[in-house]
Amino acid sequence: MHFVKGTTLEFMETGRASKTALGVAIRRAAHQLMDAPPVLDDPIAVRLIGTGYRVKMGRASHRVGRDLRAFVAARSRYVEDRLAEAVERGVRQYVVLGAGLDTFAYRNPFAGLRVFEVDFPATQEWKRELLEEAEITRPEGLRFVPLDFEDTTLDEGLAEAGFDGSAAAFFGWLGVVPYLTLVAFRATLEVIAQMPAGSGVSFDYAVAPESLSAVGRKAFDGLAGRVAAAGEPFRLFFMPEEMEGELRRAGFNRMEQLDSDQLNEIYFKDREDGLKLSAVKLGRVATAWV
């Protein structure tokens, strides 16, 4: 794996709301307005970001913005598809790790599925304000779990929020792994791997930049520069075989990984508007089941 060391000053300040969470939320909202039919059907996305941020959606429409918008929509759809399978198998707890402005909880179609949103306190506070401004009701079963993956283990945080550790759960972990240290990544995975049978986790990760083509490297550098400027630098990367090793090390035996070609085949085939993931393949999605 590839771990970029840095001082704590370079890391995300925990006292302010995540700017990258806003960035991906704007892209999901743009996807609703610009792409028909949407790969991710998310009627809450546009309402949640409010009129103040809607002006920023123009950026999501140029070529690079379009590629990223496709990826952001596809990864959410992928996680929600795996969640639906878990629910079908009887899972009744869904934990959204690094939830940011994820909207699943506010359009949850599964009766009896409890949702836990885990994130920094400041990001959750800001989300609450946006929800209030947009008059989006907080569902009864939803719990906010404020924590920093770097200093609190997931089981500690969840226990305080009424999570049932003796029952299976599904975890979605989108757009978070590249921002973590290897220690926090492993600690979180290990907690999930210890969950009861039937549990699982879906997430995405960034592939090691040195493995990218020249065009891919350029796209990566642009994106990495933007998130670093937002105070949330990428610092953790894996090659696919390294990720498989991490999942096995944590205790998982059943897993899958999908690259952009596979996601295109599943979610973007035969679209008339040509929307699809770009060939640069900056990241992958993965699922591991207990």
Ligand X SMILES: C[S@@+](CC[C@H](N)C(=O)[O-])C[C@H]1O[C@@H](n2cnc3c(N)ncnc32)[C@H](O)[C@@H]1O
Whole-number minimum distance, CB 176 to ligand X, in Å?
Answer: 4
| Minimum separation from the CB atom of position 151 to ligand X (A) | 8
* Interface of this chain with ligand X, residues 39 to 98, rule: CB under 6 A: 98
User: Would you say 151 or 272 has its CB closer to ligand X?
Assistant: 151
Q: What character string, x for contact with ligand X (CB under 6 A) and - otherwise, covers 95-124?
A: ---xxxxx----------------xx--x-
Of the residues 125, 150, 244, 259, which one makes contact with ligand X according to CB under 6 A: 150
Nearest-angstrom CA–CA distance, 152 and 164: 18
CA distances from 61 to 25, 46, 53, 218, 225 (A): 14, 15, 15, 19, 19
**Site membership for ligand X, residue 148 (CB under 6 A):** yes
Neighbours of 279 (CB within 10 A): 13
Answer positive or negative: Cα dihedral of 256, 191, 98, 218. negative
- CB of 290: closest distance to ligand X in angstroms? 21
Residue 85, both tokens:
């399978």
Cβ closer to ligand X: 123 or 260?
123
Contact code string over 228-267 relative to ligand X, x by CB under 6 A? ----------------------------------------
Q: Which of 42-50, 107-115, 174-182, 208-216 is the region at the interface with ligand X (rule: CB under 6 A)?
A: 174-182
CA distance 18 to 26: 13
With CB under 6 A as the contact rule, the residue among 71, 149, 163, 289 that binds ligand X is 149
Residue 96 or 248: the one with the smaller Cβ distance to ligand X is: 96
Asked if 144 touches ligand X (CB under 6 A), the answer is: no
Q: How far is the CB of 272 from ligand X (least distance, A)?
A: 27
Using CB under 6 A, which residues numbered 16 to 35 contact ligand X? 18, 20-21, 24-25
Cross-strand pairs, 210: none
Nearest distance from residue 16's CB to ligand X, in Å? 9
Tokens coding 13: 């300040």
Cis peptide preceding 233, ω within 30 of 0:
no
**84 or 167: whose CB is closer to ligand X?**
84
Helical (H) or strand (E) element with 26: helix 19-34
| Residues facing residue 172 across a β-bridge | 96, 202
The nearest distance, CB 270 to ligand X, in angstroms, is 26
Q: Percent helix, strand, coil in the chain (nearest 5)?
A: 50, 15, 35
The reply to whether 155 sits near ligand X by the rule CB under 6 A is no
Q: 203-214 b/e with 16+ CB inside 10 Å = b?
A: bbbbbebeebee
Select from 45, 98, 107, 106 the least CA-distant residue to 73. Answer: 45
Angle of CA points 100, 132, 37, to nearest 5°: 60
- Of 80, 114, 170, 175, the one binding ligand X by CB under 6 A: 175
| 3-class DSSP state of 242 | helix
Residues that bind ligand X (CB under 6 A): 12, 18, 20-21, 24-25, 98-102, 119-120, 123, 148-150, 174-176, 179-180
